[in-house]
Amino acid sequence: MDLLTTLVDKGLRRELPTREEALAVLATPDDDLLDVVAAAGKVRRRWFGRRVKLNYLVNLKSGLCPEDCSYCSQRLGSKAEILKYTWLKPEQASEAAAAGVAGGAKRVCIVASGRGPTDRDVDRVSQTIAAIKEQNEGVEVCACLGLLSDGQADRLRAAGADAYNHNLNTSEATYGDITTTHTYADRVATVHQAQAAGLSACSGLIAGMGESDADLVDVVFALRALDPDSVPVNFLIPFEGTPLAKEWNLTPQRALRILAMVRFVCPDVEVRLAGGREVHLRSMQPLALHLANSIFLGDYLTSEGQAGKDDLAMIADAGFEVEGTDTSTLPEHRADALAGGGCGGHGGGGCGPCGDGDAAAEPAVRAGAGAGTVPAPADEARAEEAPVTAPATPAGEARTDLVSVRRRGAGTELPPNA
């Protein structure tokens, strides 16, 4: 396919595809799926070889969040029967993290529900970071605490945090349909704060919430412009008791096409196969390793994942290897930029000034425009892309049997799955 040849060439040069090319990936028929995976796999191997980075989640504080994010089991008004508990003590969090590190995790992601941390919360998390690093030599720590206030990113960096996660989740155009208690611009501003503090930025998306192909391309192009070092790709877990419980819009084939599109748009970025992979990819998870170079090991925040030992077996059986702590995840040009305090690896930059409200509020379609180009208005861009909009995708089978609420690990007396 000429499309795939073009996309591989661009990926090897770290060149941004056109919106039409990205949309065309999502529109490819199932008969061409293996060709799409093989093409995106060439780009993945160019920048990351056959290494798979393992990440491990520790939920520091579960449930009772005041925000109304429709996809989240911890949201305001959620009736999902998840674990609810207040802050873990630093030693408890460190013990939970150690289980993941023992299973091969290179990065520990510490997460707390809520709009954003208070200064006291930052103090508490700083102590937790110190405890984790003291017990686990060489481990990376990524914090995910919600919207940051001035100076908090700097304090987390000084405490030893290596990265900060804050996802865009969906396109700016549809963000208000998903969340009303904060804005898309708030999220962009928090990622900018993390970058300005010298933290490695982690920001991604959630697919399967009823968004269009154009929305998916919008958010991925916005992420390319924001230029995080890692992009987690989540697939909606439709928890009973949340507004999106009936949204079963993904098939394994569509999930793979989404991952391939992300890889083509963000060729040299750590693409992480994140929440919902077991629910929507199911037996096709090994194919996703040809697209993503990073996964979460074991369980997630409020849901159970595949057994950790099965994750490791899947990686080995697919011919990949677990990345060690002595290996840099990022390609040399990105690692050097991060070490030097920069946050851009594409030449076009995406590291706007911290808290730049005007830049943060730009539509995603404009944020994705290539350097030196004049961005088209959103309505013109959508009109141009119409010929390659994907045909209606049959909804995926509702596999509620695969949605299992986490009842082990952090916040419980049971050992974690790692």
User: Annotated catalytic sites, by residue?
Assistant: 65, 69, 72, 109, 142, 202, 272
Q: Residue 58: beta bridge partners?
A: 110
How far, rounded to the nearest angstrom, does the alpha carbon of residue 28 sit from its chain's CA centroid? 23
Please name which of 276, 254, 85, 268 lies closest in space to residue 169, comparing C-alpha atoms. Answer: 276
* Tokens linked to 175: 């963000």
Helix axes 19-27, 213-226, angle to 10 degrees: 130
* Tokens linked to 215: 């929305």
Question: β-strands 163-165, 51-61: how paired?
Answer: unpaired
* Tokens linked to 11: 């990926």
* Tokens linked to 307: 């057994």
Q: What does the DSSP 8-state code read for residue 283? A: G
Alpha-carbon distance 307 to 69, whole Å? 28
Q: Give the three-class secondary structure for 241.
A: coil
Query: Which secondary-structure segment (H or E) carries 110?
Result: strand 107-112
* Tokens linked to 165: 């996660």
DSSP E strand stretches across 139-282: 140-144, 163-165, 200-202, 205-207, 230-235, 270-273
Task: Read off the amino acid at residue 383.
Answer: A
Q: What does the DSSP 8-state code read for residue 118? A: -
* Tokens linked to 45: 């191997």
